[in-house]
Amino acid sequence: MNIKKKKKKKEQVVRYGKKLIDRRLTTGSGGHISVYNREKNLVAISPSGLDYYETTPEDIVILDMDGNLVEGKHRPSSEAGMHLAFYKNRADVSGIVHTHSKFATAIACMGWELPAVHYLIGMAGHRVKCTGYATYGSDELAKKALETIGDSNAVLLANHGLIALGEDVDRAFSTAEHLEFVSEVYYLTKTLGTPNILSDEDMDEVMKKFGTFKYR
């Protein structure tokens, strides 16, 4: 990764970390961001335990695809193994955002999948499945997340939060933000009665439309 490109990747991680706080998609130092450079097989990822508003580009950790530290003075996110697993197994993914947003996390704490209560779930797929529970930062959680997500762009982690994937970190963040909205809508409709869930056929049409332009 050349110096200019490496700096850009680090700056993206810093910028979107701050947006996690600004958009209320996490609290404290929870959640994490990563960006993958497929040409160099290097990952820029959030450091563990640092306040997002105190994090600088120099604090961002660079890992190789075996999880070895290439650059950085901090420990990488505790979920670095999960990020690497997604990058190794999903050729369409170059950005990952993990949130502890209120409504998506509430759905995950119920152990529910998020259904197509609103068409914006199409940012991820027809629905967002939920893993079984595993301790954060564990190989077991990484394995469950990878097995559960399939070809979707998001997965709920039971009693934990949400992982969103994208062709770049911009897309991953946008997906995470829209899914928090869909999660809130699902919560509200459940309190009112029985939500009207869109069919797979309805979502097929939505996905076709999403394919004709980049919804952000």
pLDDT tens-digit readout, 72-105: 999 999 999 999 999 999 999 999 999 999 999 9
What are the catalytic residues? Answer: 79
Query: pTM value?
Result: 0.94
State how beta strands 95-99 and 69-71 pair.
unpaired
- The pLDDT, as a whole number, for residue 201 is 97
Q: What is the pLDDT of residues 141-151, one digit of tens each?
A: 999 999 999 99
Q: Extract the tokens encoding 151.
A: 């070809």
Domains, the chain, in order of start with CATH, read 11-30+80-212 (3.40.225.10)
- The pLDDT, as a whole number, for residue 157 is 98
The residue whose two tokens read 């450091």 is 47
Report the C-alpha gap between 43 and 29 in whole angstroms.
19
- The pLDDT, as a whole number, for residue 81 is 96
Asked if 162 and 105 count as a contact pair (C-beta separation under 8 A), the reply is yes
Give me the mean pLDDT over the 32-48 stretch. Answer: 95
- The pLDDT, as a whole number, for residue 189 is 98
3-state secondary structure string, 33-101? EEEEECCCCEEEECECCCCHHHCCHHHCEEEECCCCEEECCCCECCCHHHHHHHHHHCCCCCEEEEECC
- The pLDDT, as a whole number, for residue 2 is 62
- The mean predicted confidence, pLDDT, of the chain is 94
Identify the sign of the CA torsion 63, 67, 70, 76: positive
Give me the mean pLDDT over the 155-173 stretch. Answer: 97
Lowest mean pLDDT among 20-24, 31-35, 65-69, 211-215: 211-215
- The pLDDT, as a whole number, for residue 210 is 86
- The pLDDT, as a whole number, for residue 8 is 87
Report the C-alpha gap between 89 and 64 in whole angstroms.
15
Q: Extract the tokens encoding 193.
A: 């009665």
Report the C-alpha gap between 90 and 110 in whole angstroms.
27
Q: In which band, very low, low, confident or very high, does the pLDDT at 14 lie, cut at 50, 70 and 90?
A: very high
